[in-house]
Amino acid sequence: MAGLITMDDLTNEQILSILDDAERLLPVARGEIYLPLLQGRILGNLFFEPSTRTRMSFETAMKRLGGDVVNLGDVKTSSVVKGETLFDTIQMVDGYTDIIAMRHPRQGAAQYAQDSARVPILNGGDGAGHHPTQTMLDLFTIKQAHGRLDGLKVVLAGDLRYGRTVHSLSHALVRFGCELIFASPNLLRMPEEIVSDLRSHGADVTETEDLYGSMADADVIYMTRIQKERFADEDEYARCAGAYKLHARDLSEVKQDMIVMHPLPRVDEIDPSVDTTRHARYFEQAFNGVVARMALLCSLLGVSVPAKIEGGAL
């Protein structure tokens, strides 16, 4: 099987099947059952830019399944600083490993790596491009909460221009017939080509600057971080950041089963008062990164996840 570069690499049936695998792997992800499905396999972690959750959850996923991990380590001490091309780096790691998880600051790097490699590449983020493994854990979290993916109303809020998580997620949600509301400052609107792509696939998409006015009948509110460095003017940043901050008091009129998600790290966009409400799902979401990536690693390595998972406790 080829790698996972964008969500277009998976059909809806494959997505649902991987999410089902992930569901069954939950006790393994929690460390309650040891299931060495990937024993003898090696994951190459190539993170050319900083990552906490993605890198660590890939590593945890591999180790929970009995596999091993080799890391590129700090880019500053690797051959990359000596001017090595991505092509050459991939040739080397391709020979050392069975599968590669990669994050790179340049857009298109994951596809480029896949075209240069024998082993599958898992795109862990390429510039402002795609982040499909994040999308899989997001879909898992939504399905866990609502029991389905189809026909939900999802508000995506904050930095929709540069936030690669929302780009991949939007494409996937539209394929399941979700209604999307894009709530962002004008400066950080969803890129035009993505909106027109989504609409050409028949998507019901609304763009607005009013987050609070969009929340009443939403099933999911997906917050993202607004980065100060995107603004030339500090006052403008302060105004925008303030307009896209959720407090517990803002959630009094929302649906009971509405969930608040965030790819993390958060800064100010979700007040800690939200953490203790029934709506907060971002920490479970981060945990789900392990189980979703376990299921993806199995799928891309051609390893079947047993229909029934039983086993000895650790």
User: Stretches 39-47, 122-130, 201-209, 293-301: which one binds another protein (CB under 8 A)?
Assistant: 122-130
> Rule CB under 8 A: is residue 229 a binding residue for another protein?
no
Question: Is 293 considered catalytic here?
Answer: no
State the minimum distance, in angstroms, from the CB of residue 91 to another protein.
Answer: 10
- CA atoms of 166 and 254, how far apart (whole Å): 22
* Subset of 100-119 contacting another protein (CB under 8 A): 104-109, 111-112, 115-116
State the minimum distance, in angstroms, from the CB of residue 43 to another protein.
Answer: 22
Residues found in the chain: 314
> Rule CB under 8 A: is residue 127 a binding residue for another protein?
yes
- Exposure class string for 64-97: b at 16+ Cβ within 10 A, else e: bbebebeebeebeeeebeeeeebeebbeebbeeb
> Rule CB under 8 A: is residue 132 a binding residue for another protein?
no
Closer residue to another protein (CB): 197 or 209: 197
> Rule CB under 8 A: is residue 195 a binding residue for another protein?
no
- CA atoms of 79 and 85, how far apart (whole Å): 9
Contacts of 134 (CB under 8 A, 6+ apart): 54, 125, 165, 168, 169, 263, 289
The closest alpha carbon to 288, from 76, 77, 139, 74, belongs to 139
* Alpha-helical runs (H) found in 4-79: 12-24, 26-29, 53-64
- State the catalytic residue, choosing from 103, 130, 281, 293: 103
Closer residue to another protein (CB): 87 or 283: 87
State the minimum distance, in angstroms, from the CB of residue 198 to another protein.
Answer: 14
Would you please indicate which residues are annotated as catalytic (active-site) residues? 53-54, 82, 103, 131
Residues at the contact surface with another protein, assessed by CB under 8 A: 6, 83, 85-87, 104-109, 111-112, 115-116, 126-130, 193
